Amino acid sequence: MKQSFKKALVVALVMGGTTSVWAQGLKDAYKDYFRIGVALNQRNIADAEQQALVKREFNSITAENDMKPQLTEPNEGEFTWEAADRIANFCRQNGIKLRGHCLMWHSQIGEWMYKDNPTKEVLFARMRKHIHAVVSRYKDVVYCWDVVNEAMTDDKNAMDPYRQSQFYKIAGDEFIAKAFQYAREADPKALLFYNDYNECDPVKSQRIYNMVKAMKQAGVPIDGIGMQGHYNIYGPTEKEVDDAITLYKKIVKHIHVTELDIRVNTEMGGQLRFSRGGVTVSDSIKQHLADQYARVFKVFRKHKDVIDCVTFWNLGDRDSWLGAANYPLPFDSEYKPKLAYDFIKNMKPAKWELPTAPAPKPRQQQMERPQFNARMAFRPIEGVKDDFKPSEMNQPGQEYPMVNSQGYVRFRVMAPDAKAVSVSLGLGGQGGTKLRRFFDGSWIGTTEGPMDEGFHYYHLTVDGGTLNDPGTQNYFGSCRWESGIEIPAHDADFYAMKNVPHGNVQQVLFWSESTKQVRRAMVYTPPTYGQNKKEKYPVLYLQHGWGEDETAWSRQGHANLIMDNLIAEGKIQPFIVVMTYGMTNDVKFGTIGQFTAKEFETVLVDELVPYIDSHFQTKADKWNRAMAGLSMGGVETKLITLRRPETFGYYGLLSGGMYAPEDIKDKSQVRMIFQSCGSKENPDGIRKSVEALKAAGFNAHGYVSEGTAHEFLTWRRSLKEMAPLLFKK
């Protein structure tokens, strides 16, 4: 890559001189519209070739992480400037303006900011000192600041529009006003922005608008709104982006797109893989990426009167917080321009524009369509067995989607007026299945290859819009309800519905004083529960992953069926399983390292555990309580069990990290540690961790699910292996 890059640069210099080389950049193509920016890390500014790329293409720079509060002031009064200075000096030396990001954010901020439960006056003093120090140091090169980042909630049902951060709990929305006041004091010339994501969502955009409008009416110096722009190839639509900008420009004169990337993978929840490579992106997906970039830039150009800058969130795919497999940027992992770069630079229209809605057709004409014939529609495919059956997760009476014995999936969707229909079934940027139109108005197709065994989320994309498949049931797994499909596993018997005594999964509602709302938990009680009013049971608190909720373990995970079958086979003693929402879905990827789970710890340990012990027949002591979680629920489990050793006696991390012997101060505080993952994840890490724990004297067990990755089949198998190890003295 380095040699070819140098040759291309030499040829360009010889052919056209230095001026022509620099004239080729995005910044020059958009000189009559707005600045083109990029977020950089330390590697980017240390590599000569990447420096040349930055100078050719961009005229605004953002420090990806190095100016965030935790990096600049990790401890109160202890400032670490080296990394931020290197970014600032690169800008100074090359005459490139710097966007400051960011001053106040609930994530990636030192815990000292909230130390000792400060009054709002103490909090404001700490904020002012930090903001003045950072802004004053870089005022010669920074032309604008993201002053407050992500203060509004994504919960559409929340009565309070604000994120329940520590800032907000201490000071209400006054912390926002104070942050802008202090930033204006420190640099009266810099433009000051409020910055947020999901900014095109109609509910959240209105909340952002209302907040900024109210602040400005109160005299708060907010100059602009930062639209982060973390999109995917299917959304938001042109109209959604246009509507958001049109709304915001009513109250501000400056809009920046601050963190633009467009991922090709729309799957989320536990199945979102942030791989750093090894995945081939199909030509059709590359075209979809180029089209979506073309669509959003068309809208940006339309609003050049208010948009001052559009910043890409990283230089190339290898730098992206989304991972290379999500293919999110105009430059690939080798910093070579993609088709999307060409579409952006040359302002090409999307190949497939979103269509306008056609006029309704007469009912008579719709009724006259030919009848569907499956044998005519689905021609034999070499090597694919024609033994397709309706998916076990279909809605009652629905024939499609279908699954065959090899794991191929077949779809049929009625969309007679659509121009393009695809299915996002697949993982980590591999794309999905493009359907073809049949003469009866349906869209049909079969996956190109067999899907992995187990559960998969998916959805339809119809003319650019994201829809669920009406043929199958919906499952909460992407911070939204998604379609779900099950590819029968060879070992599915352990979670099959059998003729055995079954327990009960019930919903319980409990008041949370810390969050000031009624919260929900799903509680599994074994078949014998309640028969003897004096019999008490141990309890497993079982957590879901990011993007999911309290229903995930019983619906996607079949935890209740696994328990029923193990109890019927005499492999475990009966115990209760409690599943509640882990408050994970407000966490943004790229910031997981700063996730503390402290708010959820209060809900779980101080509110839910006492509620369960007072309303169910439980053995209410730590040696009869276990906590386990999958993926991010495992992260929560590790954090909470280490901080609250008096509450739980058994720990389980399912694709959720690992304990080290030095993490646990007192070996007597835990009776058993269980750790697992899929063989396509980090099996060596699990084995080494378990060996180290055993060598240190812990009762540790490890399990690797053969042939699986970060998915529910891994976690179903893990629960089956872990459950018999719990509550043994």
Residues 6+ apart with CB under 8 A from 214: none
User: Do 315 and 50 touch, CB atoms closer than 8 A?
Assistant: yes
In terms of DSSP bridges, do strands 539-543 and 576-580 run parallel, antiparallel, or are they unpaired?
Answer: parallel
Residues 6+ apart with CB under 8 A from 499: none
User: Do 453 and 705 touch, CB atoms closer than 8 A?
Assistant: no
Q: Is residue 631 flagged as an active site residue?
A: yes
Distance CA 644, CA 642 (A): 6
Amino acid identity of residue 529, one-letter, is Y
- Tell me which residue has tokens 């069990």: 641
User: Do 416 and 369 touch, CB atoms closer than 8 A?
Assistant: yes
Burial class (CB in 10 A: 0-12, 13-18, 19+), 508: middle
- Tell me which residue has tokens 């608190």: 541
- Tell me which residue has tokens 């994970």: 584
Residues 6+ apart with CB under 8 A from 707: 452, 453, 678, 679, 680
Nearest Cα to Cα of residue 635 among 589, 680, 667:
589
Q: 391 is written with which tokens?
A: 């998916």
Which helix (H) or strand (E) segment holds residue 343: the answer is helix 339-345
- Whether the link from the prior residue into 102 is cis, omega within 30° of 0, is yes
**Which of 64, 73, 150, 240 does the annotation list as catalytic?**
150
Q: What is the 3-state secondary structure (H, E, C) of 393-433?
A: CECCCCCCCEECCCCCEEEEEECCCCCCEEECCCCCCCCCE
Distance CA 246, CA 667 (A): 59
Q: Would you call 456 helix, strand, or coil by DSSP?
A: strand
Distance CA 67, CA 669 (A): 40
Q: Is residue 259 flagged as an active site residue?
A: yes
Return phi, psi of residue 309, to 5°: -155, 140
**Which of 205, 442, 483, 631 does the annotation list as catalytic?**
631
Residue 387: C-alpha distances to residues 406, 411, 444 (Å): 9, 14, 17
User: Do 34 and 300 touch, CB atoms closer than 8 A?
Assistant: yes
In terms of DSSP bridges, do strands 402-403 and 230-232 run parallel, antiparallel, or are they unpaired?
Answer: unpaired
> H helices within 105-253, ranges in order?
120-138, 166-171, 174-186, 202-217, 238-248
**Which of 64, 73, 240, 259 does the annotation list as catalytic?**
259
Q: Would you call 235 helix, strand, or coil by DSSP?
A: strand
DSSP letters spanning 123-152: HHHHHHHHHHHHHHHHTTTEEEEEEEE--B
Other CB atoms within 10 Å distance of the CB of residue 238: 18
User: Do 273 and 316 touch, CB atoms closer than 8 A?
Assistant: no
Distance CA 185, CA 132 (A): 8
Distance CA 438, CA 541 (A): 49
Q: 274 is written with which tokens?
A: 């942030």
Nearest Cα to Cα of residue 548 among 457, 680, 626, 423:
457
Q: 138 is written with which tokens?
A: 């870089």
Distance CA 360, CA 366 (A): 10
Q: Is residue 165 flagged as an active site residue?
A: no
- Tell me which residue has tokens 């930033």: 183
Q: Which residues are catalytic?
A: 150, 259, 631
